[in-house]
Each structure stands twice: as C-alpha cells, then as structure tokens.
Structure 1
Amino acid sequence: MTGGRRDDAALVLPSAGPDPIPLGTALAAVLGYARGRRPLFFRSPSAPHGRWFQVLAYGFDRFDGQPPETADRPTDRDVLLAEGLHGRLDPVGWRAVRTDLDEVWPLLGDLRARAGGRPFWELPDDEFSVLAEPGTAGAVLRSLTDRPTARHVVAALHHRHPSLVPLVDGVTRRQLWGHLREGDSGPEACISREVHANAAAFARLETATATLLGRPVTRLRLHDVLVWLAGSLRMTHAVAVGRALAAESGLEAALAR
C-alpha cells in the first residue's frame, strides 16, 4: 500500500489466495493460459498406432479468441462458444442451454439498461447489495446463474458482453463464496470489490496482456482466469508455461515490469 492506495505492482485477490500476485506473475499466468499447450496421444486412420500431439491446454483460443455473435437474439453459435470454454454438451444439455438463453435474454436487456453503458467495474457497491434490491445488477445476475445450465449460459452471455457479465462457474464460485459479506447479492459482489480495489493493477495488466496477446482481454475476464487457475490448482503450471513462452520469444522483460 502506498499513500493509502493499493500499489499497482501486485494484485491483492483474496478469492485467489492469501498472498498478493505480482503483476509479472499474473501476466505469466495469463500468457500460459492463453498460449500453453499439453501433449495428447491420439490414434487416427493415418496413424493407427498413435502419435503424440501438442494441443492447447486451456480454452482461451476456443472461447476468447473467437469473434462474438452479433445477432440481436440468442443463436446456436452462442451455445457453441460456451462449449468452447466448458466442454461439449449432450443433446439434452445442449437443448436446455439453448432454451434457457432464450428465457434469460430479456434479463440481459435489464442488466444493460441498469448499467447504462458502464462496464461492470464502474458499477457502485449498491448494485451488489440485497439492501438496494429489487432491480439491481446483482439481482439480475443472480437470476441468470440460478439454474442448472448457468455455467454455459453465463459463458455465452459473457462472450457477448465481456465487460459486463462476469464469468462464474463451479470452481470460481467456491473460491468466491468464502469472501461474501452480509448483504451481498451473490459472488459477483466479491468480484466487484476485488476489481475496484485493484483498479490500477488491472489497468496495467489489461494493457500488458493486449500487447503480449495482440487482442484486448477485459479485467473481468482476467480476474476470472486468475481465480480459476488458483481454484483449479493450475496456477503453478500456467505461470511456468507463460514464463517459458516469454523466454522463447525474448519477452522476459515484459513479465518483469
């Protein structure tokens, strides 16, 4: 802390763990998540005895790397994009997600109207307090996530509005739950506090990430990546892969800043 304000050289995210995350470590983790690969043994007609392939370790290219759907209503492609992050659905599950997207679409309109063009991280604390309900952003988000299909539905809506709809799944929800306070409308209240408290550091991370990856990634998604990596016990792997990729590309200095 400097001058009563949080230093922008590290992220203090209780939902990701008790220790601050230096900005270079966070950037390495995001780079590892976005570009990291893992070996996969695969048999095919042309290689019946099998071969090792290097495949993407995480879902960044299948999800964040895809252009958003532009139709003004839900489409089948929204479900396909959500599958790119969370995995394939069986036919029954696929239809359930598609049906729920149609059902929650008016709620998305309510959320956008409530935000009034502001991104998630500019919404005031009252938007995530039960004391200010009904009609708050937090109340709308709770309606979106209070359903069995929430993981894929929220992923589809986040892809449409990456600056407004936070990603919350089973892993991140468990990480966030222990940090909720009395009166919070849901896990999104914890996300709001953490992105507010680390605004300067997230602004730096957004800029550095866009430079390294060649595309912008919102602080809402960056927060999700860091919390998910910590909660799924993949943080160490992602950081190591990110640092190795930076070394191969001569970008070590970018991780040191």
Structure 2
Amino acid sequence: MSKTELFDLDGQVALVSGASRGIGAAIAHLLAQQGAHVIVCSRKLGGCEAVAQAIRDEGGQATALACHIGELEQITQLFSEIRQRFGRLDVLVNNAATNPQFCNVLDTDPAAFQKTVDVNIRGYFFMSVEAGKLMRERGAGSIINVASINGVSPGAFQGVYSMTKAAVINMTKVFAKECAAFGIRCNALLPGLTDTRFASALVSNPAILQGVLQQVPLKRVAAPAEMAGAVLYLASAASSYTTGAALNVDGGFLS
C-alpha cells in the first residue's frame, strides 16, 4: 500500500458535526482533501454552507446539513436524509459540543448541567447509534469522538464539561467493543488547549493562559488544523487495527 493509499478516503462519505468553524471545519477540509464527500453539520445551516462551499471551491466534495445534536428528533431527521441522499456513511466525527457555564462546581446551574449532558453525552451516543446502523449494513466504518484532555484531568471551573468528556472516553470503548464484530472501529481524540472560539474564555485571558501553558511542555496553544491530522489517521486505513483508543493531541499536557 502506497503512502497516498494509506490515507485515501476516495468514495467515502464522512459526517463531521460542529463543522462550521474551529476544529470541526479543519477536520472537514482535510477529509475532503483526502477524497471524502464531507457532510458539514452544525446547528446553523448558513455556517455549514460557508464551510461546504469553501471545500467545493478547493475542488472537494461537500454537503451542508443542519442538526442540533442536543435534539433527538433532529438526529433522526439528519440520518434519514443521509440515508436518502447517500445510502451509506463511512466516517462519523462527533465534534459538536457545548460548555455553557464556567464556574465553581458548587455554583452549577441545573439548566446548564442538562444542556451539557444532552449535547456532549446523549448527542454523541445517538449520533453514534445512528451512524453505526448505517455502517453495520456495509460491514465497515469509523467513529471518532472528539473528547478532551479534561476527560482525564478535569479543567478548573469546567466540572460538568469535564465529566461529560470522561463519559465520551468510556463511551468510545463501549462502541469499540460492541461494534467490532460489524467492522466498525471507534476511537477518541483528546485535544489540548486549541485556539478556537469555544476555548476563547481561556485563550483570551492572559493570566489563565499562562497558567495553562506552564503545564504544556510544547509551551503553546494548538491550531485547529493540528487536530485534523489525528482524525485523518483514525478515519483511514492507516488505523485499521486501532479501536477503543484515546489519542492525546495536547502538546504533552497529560504526559
């Protein structure tokens, strides 16, 4: 197998949630560059279409579909449309997530708690279930869950978010074990601090940022594109014997 064939996604259909910006957009672009038809998915269709159009302008294939993964009805509708339009799904990247409250755990708002759980756990779970059903029909597929280093080492004032990301890591192992017989692999990506709007509360605060970077051996914040290569590995034949893994891309934070 040649170098290009190892990461070749020609003819495959890949769904990336939370792909209208940041890490998700970077992943969508790279998967399309490797030949996949990428379904760019997020809550707002306009943002998805902008990324999809940028991919098409680069010569890639992309379709924009809106879905709020915190709403089960929307997940059902999304996969109904995928089945109708494409009849298959080869790669799912669960990237959409939320963290609506930055506070001491004792000050957690119940509504914020529920929203975080609904998106980060329930959403990932049922996106994986629906994707897995399509993949099972073909006897192959790769599910990649974007978790976080917070799932291993809880972030300060990010208690509920950290708990949900720990659940995502365990969920990954559940799907890896129970879906291997269907040819489906499931792995997790654990990003470190990355320069996205999602992490702006940390990146834009010099005091917090310096405190975090003291714990990062590479001494810098990651760019979204630096997460995409790891996802390509997990999506492609390069990782054909890898399932149930949690891949740290964190500048050495968890070392």
User: If each structure's helix is expressed as a fraction of its own residues, which one has the higher value?
Assistant: 1
Using the size of structure 2 for normalisation, the TM-score is 0.30
Question: Which structure shows the higher strand fraction?
Answer: 2
TM-score w.r.t. structure 1 length? 0.30
Higher relative contact order (CA 8 A, sep 6+): 1
Higher Rg? 1
